[in-house]
A and B are shown apart, each in its own frame.
Chain A
């Protein structure tokens, strides 16, 4: 079975500091990879995705993620945190066969003024 691991259920950063949210997956073949953000009392919004091609993917709101096959990782970063980035972030994977999405347990990001 597939699994998605998000290290750190809670991450706190100062406003303006680097944001790094970690995601590792278990798969024998490279899956499709996604990051979603969930703001308080809202549904999930797609931040970015990796399917094929360039391993550094840019998303909305200044976020980006890099697919590293050797490390089976897809960590999410943003150079400078903003107060509005405070939210829950979910990493998800989907194999290139089938429609099942596997979600990580989420990382709650707090931005300290």
Chain B
């Protein structure tokens, strides 16, 4: 398993502001990810956070809106910039733990964001 913490656990923000979410994991991992889970929906991958290089974004997500940092192998941040009510979601970080015969993804507890 894995121990993953996220801060803040929830926040209520005003339109036009930005929020940075932190993700801390208990051991060094190569691959970390950021997901969005909109109300009543499944998970959508935003990007892969690469240590020492720029994040790799999925279609529909751009760095200007969701800048990501990965300064080391146990920490990453996701910023939601210039927020609008449509950004209200749960944001989840995850890591991929490599194990012979089946790498497994573990998730943090999530950050519940409400944009007014």
Contact of B92 with A44 in the complex, beta carbons under 8 Å: yes
Interface size class of B (residues with CB under 8 A): 20 to 34
Hey, which chain B residues are within 8 Å of A49, CB to CB?
102, 104
A-B contact count (CB 8 A): 50
Hey, which chain A residues are within 8 Å of B45, CB to CB?
100-101
Query: Bound state CA distance, A106 and B43, in angstroms?
Result: 9
Given contacts A32-B102, A99-B31, contact A90 B109 (CB under 8 A): no
Is A46 positioned at the interface, with any CB of B under 8 Å from its CB? Answer: yes
Contact for A103 among B6, B43, B106, B108, CB less than 8 A: B43
Contact for B107 among A45, A99, A104, CB less than 8 A: A45
Q: How near does chain B come to A57, taking the closest CB pair, in angstroms? A: 11
Contact for B92 among A43, A94, A99, A100, CB less than 8 A: A43
Contact of A99 with B96 in the complex, beta carbons under 8 Å: yes
Given contacts A49-B104, A51-B102, A99-B96, contact A43 B42 (CB under 8 A): no
Summarize A's interface: helix, strand, loop or mixed. Answer: strand
Interface size class of A (residues with CB under 8 A): 20 to 34
Is A61 positioned at the interface, with any CB of B under 8 Å from its CB? Answer: no
Query: Bound state CA distance, A49 and B101, in angstroms?
Result: 11
Q: How near does chain B come to A85, taking the closest CB pair, in angstroms? A: 19
Contact of B42 with A105 in the complex, beta carbons under 8 Å: yes
- 7 nearest CB pairs, A to B: A51-B102, A44-B107, A43-B109, A43-B107, A43-B110, A51-B101, A105-B42
Q: List 11 A-B contacts (CB under 8 A).
A: A34-B104, A41-B112, A43-B6, A46-B104, A50-B102, A90-B42, A90-B43, A92-B105, A94-B105, A99-B31, A105-B41
Known: A46-B106, A52-B102. 13 other contacts (CB 8 A): A34-B105, A41-B112, A42-B110, A43-B6, A43-B108, A43-B109, A43-B110, A46-B105, A49-B102, A94-B105, A99-B96, A104-B42, A105-B41
